[in-house]
Amino acid sequence: MTAKLINGKEIARKKRIQVANEVKKLKEMNVTPGLAVILVGDNQASRTYVRNKQKACHETGMHSELIEYEDTITEQELIKKITELNEDPSIHGILVQLPLPKHINEIKMIEAISPEKDVDGFHPINIGRMMTGQDTLLPCTPYGVLEMIAEIDIDITGKHAVIVGRSNIVGKPAGQLLLNKNATVTYCHSKTKDLKAYTKQADILIAAVGKANLITSDHIKEGAVVIDVGMNRNEEGKLCGDVAFDEVKEKASYITPVPGGVGPMTITMLLFNTLKAAKNTLNKE
């Protein structure tokens, strides 16, 4: 068996066409979805992410604003700007690009964003709504993972999903979203003893630890769906995931590549969240 590829690039392309069509309809009602991105300092990886986010906004007809600060900015100045954006009716989504300089408390900044404009889905109120199965703005990467599984028409109900990684951004919410879809969920992490004993039981395996080629064919059972969220550089400096792709693809039923898998979906779901936040303002009127 050779796994079928879950092509994140292609799924993202289709979904962005859908977003563009919906943005067009909103514009006819005099609402242009607006996203504000705050970038602090000069982290090159962050700059690339932000550029890709802005490009995606532009391509779908959304309004986007980039607000840049030196890494000497204070917490108070940053909170003041976030508060202004919370009150700006032309901005429907706000995100503070992480990581932030050490002197700025990331949690404080996330909590300063209005939950209705938290398009990253990181605010504790949105996390709480997700935990209790309410309609909310979902964290973009796990949301993208769920959409990829939906695209291959796998019924999640009753499946055993194993998540390797427990970050607040990917691992924990991915497990919760799968639980909300009636999967049986197991979390594994750096302190898990005998990782293979758990991963071999997985019908759906999500690797999100940031360790190159951690998951080998020995870790998975025949026919598993393998979603690789890892983004690493191998010894040759080539981009790779947490999954040893070439060997695992011979055993899995479906697998995501790196690059071109989960990555393009993350920004696409950010667009979905911004669109949703803009629509929600119409519903309030």
133, two tokens: 């199965």
Q: Which of 70, 119, 50, 143 is nearest to 280 (CA)?
A: 119
pLDDT for the residue 133: 94
Kindly list the distances between the CA atom of residue 158 and the CA atoms of 155, 161, 272, in Å, as whole numbers in the listed order: 8, 9, 28
Rounded CA gap, 88 and 64, in Å? Answer: 13
**Residue written as token pair 């992490």:** 189
Residues noted as catalytic: 53, 97, 120
Q: Is the pLDDT of residue 115 over 90?
A: yes
* 47 marked as part of a ligand binding site: no
Whether the per-residue pLDDT at 146 is higher than 60: the answer is yes
What is the mean predicted confidence (pLDDT) over 234-240? 87
Residue 126: Cβ-neighbour burial (10 angstroms; 0-12, 13-18, 19+): buried
Question: Has 165 been labeled as part of a binding site?
Answer: yes
Residues 58-101 have pLDDT tens digits of 999 999 999 999 999 999 999 999 999 999 999 999 999 999 99
Residues 6+ away with beta carbon under 8 Å from 24 = 61
Domain spans, the chain: 29-114, 140-263
Q: How far apart are the first and last CA of the chain?
A: 54
- Quickly state the pLDDT bin for 285 (edges 50, 70, 90): low
What per-residue confidence (pLDDT) applies to 267?
Answer: 95
For residue 74, the model assigns a pLDDT of 97
Per-residue model confidence as pLDDT tens digits over 152-171: 999 999 999 999 999 999 99
Distant-in-sequence, close-in-space partners of 215: CB < 8 Å, separation ≥ 6: 164, 199, 205, 207, 226, 228, 242, 243, 244, 248
Question: Homologous superfamily of 29-114 in CATH?
Answer: Leucine Dehydrogenase, chain A, domain 1 (3.40.50.10860)
**Ligand-binding site membership of 64 (annotated):** no
Question: Do 29-114 and 140-263 fold alike per CATH?
Answer: yes
Superfamily for domain range 140-263: NAD(P)-binding Rossmann-like Domain (3.40.50.720)
